[in-house]
Amino acid sequence: MAGIVIDRIAKSFGAVSALKEVSLEIADGEFVALLGPSGCGKTTLLRIMAGLETRSSGRVLIGGRDVSDLKPYERGLAMVFQNYAVFPHMTVYDNVGFGLTMQKKPKDVIDRQVKKAAALLHIEPYLERYPAKLSGGQRQRVAVARALAVEPAVLLMDEPLSNLDALLRLEMRAELKSVLREAGTTTVYVTHDQTEAMGLADRIAVMHGGKIVQIAPPTEVYSRPASMFVGGFVGSPPMNFIPVEARAGSVALGGQTLAAPRASGALTLGFRGEDVTLAPPGEAMPFTVRVAEPMGSHLLLTGRIGDAVVRVVAPPASIVKAGETVGLRLDPDRIVFMDAATGAATDLAA
Amino acid sequence: MTGPRRFLFVTGVITLCAWILVPIYLIALGSFGGRPAVFKWPKDWLPWNASLDAMLLFLRIEGVWNAAINSVIAAGLTMIFSILLGAPAGYALARFDFRGANAFRLLVLLTRAFPLAILALPLTVIFIKLGLYDTPFGVSLVHTALALPFAALVTASLFVGIPRELEEAAWVFGCTRWQAFTKVVLPLALPGVAAAAIFAFVISWNEVFAASVLTVRERTLTAYLLTVLSESPLHYRFAGGFILIVPSVLFIFAVRKYLFAMWGVSSK
C-alpha cells in the first residue's frame, strides 16, 4: 500500500509539449481517475508513472520513494493495459502467476495467490486454458487478476474497459469497483469515458492540453466544474452555458434574479440540464424547443435560449412539443458562473 | 466450402504438390532405377527395378562423406551466425526509432547486390591471409553474409507483429529487458525464428559458387558434387541430386510444427 506523489512532471516530444509540469497527490488506497479527451496527456502521465515512458523533468514518488529513475520492474506496481496484453503462450494460470513467478515466490504461495485472484474475478474454470480460447471480457479479467495477484502497492489501469462492448463494460465496471474496494489498492485509472470516471473514482483529475484542469470528487467535478471545458466534457448531456450580463451584483433572467460573483460585466452562466424546472413561458427564461426526445427515464429537450444551444432534462411525463416555447426556472444553488473571457469558474462566495 | 470453390481449392493444392513433388519423384526414380531408368522413355512411373546400387556406389565415392560433413558444418554455422546477428538487428528495426533505420533496411539488402563472382578473388586472397581458406568456417562466413539480410528483415517483421504492450506488461510485472525478451518475445517469435534459421541453412546448403571458389580439399557437398559428377554417368548425378534434396526436405519436415503452429491452433 502506498500513496503517489507526482511532482511537476513535464514531457515533451520534440517541440510538442505533452505534459506541462503536472503535479498530483494520490493518497494511500485512493482511486483516482485521469479523465480527458484523447491527446490530453493522460496516458503519457500514466506511462511515466509506470516507467514505460521517460519524463523530461519532475519526479514520481511511490510510497515516499523516488522512483523517477527506476526501471518498471523496480517500482513495485502492476498495470492493466488497454489491449489486455495477456501473454498468449501461457495458460491463464501462468499469466496470473507471472508477476509472482518473477518475484521468485515459493510455489505454494503462487498457487494460493493465483487461486485467490482467480476467485475474485471468477476465472477459476479457465485457469488451464490459453488466452486464445477466451472472450475479450474473460481476457480482461485475466489481465486484472494478473495485476491483483502480485498484491501491488499501486495499480495502474490504461483504459481497461474500452475494448469491451457496452453491456460487458457496465458489468465489469461494477465488478472492478467492488474488487478494488475489497483489495484497497491505490489505483490510477486512465479513461476518456466520463461515466467510467464518475462511477469508479474517489477523485477525478480532469486533464486538458497537458494539464490537470480540475481535481475533485466526482460530484464536485460534475456540479462545480472549474472551467467551461470541464463542464462541457463531464456529464451527458454536457453543461449548458449561456452568456449573461451582471448589473449591480446580480443577474436578471426572465423573472429570476440570481446573485452574481461580480458587480458588473459579462459572465457565462452554466447549469446542468436536470437542474431546471419547467414553467409557463411568461414567468421564466424563455426556451424555444427544437427537438424533444423521450428517453424513457426522462424527456430530453434540445433548443435555444437566445443564441445558445441548451439541452434540458424534463420529467418523462412532461408534455412539450417541438417548436413550443416554455419557461425555464433555474435552481439557484446549482448554477455556476464562468468568466466570459477565460472560461474559468468565478467563485460565488468570493 | 461450396462446390466450385472446393474444386478450385483442391486443384490448387494438387497443382502445387505436383509442381514440387513430380520433379523430386523423377530424380528419385533416376537415382534408384540405375542406368536403364534414366534413359528409358516412356518412363515406368513405378520403380519396378528399384535398387540402391547407384546410391550405394555414390556414397562410396571418395570424399562424399567428408564433403557432406563440411556442408552440415557450414550450413549449421551459417544458421547460427545469421540468427545471432540477424535477430538482434531485426529486433532493433522493429522496436526502436533510430536515425537511418530505413537506410539500414535498404543497405542490408544491398549486400546481395554485389555479385559473388566479383567478390570471389579478393575474398580468396583475404581468406588465405587469415587462414580461413579451405575451411567450412570460412565458407559459412560468406554464406552468413548472403543469409543475413533475410534473417534481419524476416525477424524484424516477426517482432513488429508482437505487440509492444506484451513486452511492457512483462517489464511491469518484474522482467528486465532481457528477461522480457526471453520469456515473452522469443517464445512468441520462435516459429518464425525457426523458419528464418532453416532458410539460412538451406541458403548455405544450396550455395555452390562461393563454396567452390573458397575451398579446394574441404569442399561442401554441392561444390564437391559439381566437380565429381560432371565426369560421372547420368544416374550417379541423379543419386547426387537426390542426396542434396533430401536433407532440406527432411529438415523442413521436422520443424513444420514451428512453421505452421500458431498459438492456440495446433497443427493436425
Please compute the mean of the pLDDT values over residues B193-208 and round it to a whole number.
Answer: 87
Using a CB-CB distance cutoff of 8 angstroms, which residues of chain A are in contact with residue B184?
Answer: 87, 89
Q: Who among A52, A133, A150 is closest to B168 (CB)?
A: A52
Q: Which residues of A touch B (CB under 8 A)?
A: 50-52, 71-73, 77-79, 81-83, 85, 87-89, 98-99, 102-103, 130-133, 146, 150
Domain identity same for A192 and A277: no
Q: Residue B267: pLDDT above 60?
A: no
CB–CB contact B168 A81 (8 Å): yes
In-domain check, residue A347: no
Q: A126 pairs with which residues across the strands?
A: none
Is B264 in Cβ contact with A132 (below 8 Å)? yes
Peptide bond into A131 cis (omega under 30): no
Of A179, A211, A229, the domain-final residue: A229
Share of chain B above pLDDT 90, in %: 29
Number of domains in chain A: 2
A212 bridge partner residues: A207
pLDDT reported for residue B256: 67
pLDDT at A95: 94
Residue from the list B165, B174, B265 with its beta carbon closest to the beta carbon of A99: B174
B55 CB-near residues (< 8 Å, 6+ apart): B31, B32, B239, B242, B243
Task: Please tell me whether residues A257 and A278 are part of one structural domain.
Answer: yes
Mean pLDDT on A173-202: 89
Q: What tens digit of pLDDT does each residue of A201-218 get?
A: 999 999 999 999 999 999
- Report pLDDT digits (tens) over A214-263: 999 999 999 999 999 999 999 888 999 999 888 888 888 877 888 888 87
Mean pLDDT of the B152-180 span: 90
- Would the pLDDT of A8 be above 90? yes
B175–A85 C-beta distance less than 8 A: no
- Picking from A138, A196, A201, the residue whose alpha carbon sits closest to that of residue A170 is A196
Q: Please state the φ and ψ torsions of residue B57, each to the nearest 5 degrees.
A: -60, -45
Q: Is the pLDDT of residue B1 over 70?
A: no
Judgement on whether residues A241 and A283 belong to the same structural domain of the protein: yes
Q: Please give the residue range of the domain that contains residue A325.
A: 237-339
Q: Which of the listed residues A201, A229, A257 is the one where a domain comes to its end?
A: A229
Residue A321 and residue A178 share a domain: no
Please check whether residue A69 lies inside any domain of the structure.
yes
Tell me: pLDDT of B265 over 80. no
Q: Is residue A344 part of a domain?
A: no
Picking from A209, A229, A249, the residue at the C-terminal end of a domain is A229
Q: What residues of chain B lie within 8 A of the CB of A81, using their CB?
A: 165, 168-169
- CATH number of domain containing A306: 2.40.50.140
**Domain map (residue ranges) of chain B:** 1-51, 54-262
Amino acid A349: pLDDT: 43
> For residue B212, what is the enclosing H or E element?
helix B209-214
Q: What percent of chain B has pLDDT over 70?
A: 91
Residue A124 domain-assigned (yes or no): yes
The pLDDT value given to residue A171: 85
Q: Over pLDDT 70: what percentage of chain A? A: 99
Cβ distance A73 to B172 less than 8 Å, yes or no, reads yes
Regarding whether A245 and A198 lie in a shared domain, the answer is no
- Chain A residue numbers with beta carbons less than 8 Å from the beta carbon of B264 are 88, 130-133
Size of the A and B interface in Cβ pairs below 8 Å? 67
Indicate yes or no: CB of B187 within 8 angstroms of CB of A79: no
pLDDT mean across residues, chain A: 89
Q: Which of B97, B165, B172, B186 to mutate to test the interface with A (most CBs of A within 10 A)?
A: B172
Q: In this structure, what CATH number is given to the domain that contains residue A207?
A: 3.40.50.300
pLDDT tens digits, one per residue of B4-60:
889 999 999 999 999 988 888 888 888 887 777 677 777 667 766 677 777 777 777
* CATH of the structural domain B54-262, one choice from 3.30.1120.10, 1.10.1200.10, 1.10.3720.10, 1.10.510.10: 1.10.3720.10
Do A284 and A183 share a structural domain? Answer: no
ipTM of the complex: 0.84
B88 falls in which pLDDT band (50, 70, 90)? very high
Give a yes or no: residue A60 inside a domain.
yes
Q: A242 with A150, same domain? A: no
Instruction: Judge whether residue B159 has pLDDT over 70.
Output: yes
Among B97, B166, B173, pick the best mutation site for testing chain A contact (most A Cβ within 10 A): B173
Query: How far is it, in rounded angstroms, from Cα A19 to Cα A56?
Result: 9
**Interchain proximity A87–B173, CB inside 8 Å:** no
Same structural domain, A194 and A255:
no
Instruction: Provide the pLDDT for residue B268.
Output: 36
Q: Which chain B positions have a beta carbon within 8 Å of A73's beta carbon?
A: 171-176
User: Could you give the 3-state DSSP secondary structure of residue B233?
Assistant: coil
pLDDT at position A50: 93
Pick A128 or B42 by higher pLDDT.
A128
CB contact under 8 A, B174 and A103: yes
**% pLDDT > 90, chain A:** 52
- Residue A348 falls within a domain, yes or no? no
What are the residues whose beta carbons fall under 8 Å from the beta carbon of B246, sequence distance 6 or more?
Answer: none
- Pairwise CB contact (< 8 Å): A130 & B263: yes
Q: Give the lowest-confidence range in A68-72, A94-98, B251-255.
A: B251-255
Indicate whether A110 and A86 sit together in one domain: yes
Half-sphere exposure of A300 (CA within 13 A, CB side): 9
- pLDDT of res. B47: 67
Mean pLDDT score, A38-42: 89
* Residue A96 belongs to some domain of the structure: yes
Average pLDDT, chain B: 84
pLDDT range class, residue B194, cuts 50, 70, 90: confident
The whole-number pLDDT of residue A102 equals 93
Local structure of A345: helix, strand or coil: strand
- pLDDT at residue number B264: 37
Q: What is the pLDDT of residue B48?
A: 65
Query: Could you read off the pLDDT of A322-335 as tens digits, one per residue?
Result: 888 888 888 888 88
Same domain, A147 and A106: yes
pLDDT of residue B58: 74
A253 and A153 together in one domain: no
- Same-domain pairing of A252 and A204: no
Q: Residue B260: what pLDDT?
A: 58
- How confident is the model over B175-182, as a mean pLDDT? 92
**Which pLDDT value is given to residue A9?**
92
Contact call for residues B52 and B204 (beta carbons, < 8 A): no
- Between chains, do B179 and A81 touch, taking CB under 8 Å as contact? no
- pLDDT per position as a tens digit, A261-289: 887 888 899 999 999 988 887 778 889 99
Distances (CA, A) of B215 to A59, A255, B77, B120, B122: 62, 104, 16, 11, 14
| Close Cβ partners of B206 (under 8 Å, ≥ 6 residues apart) | B222, B244, B248
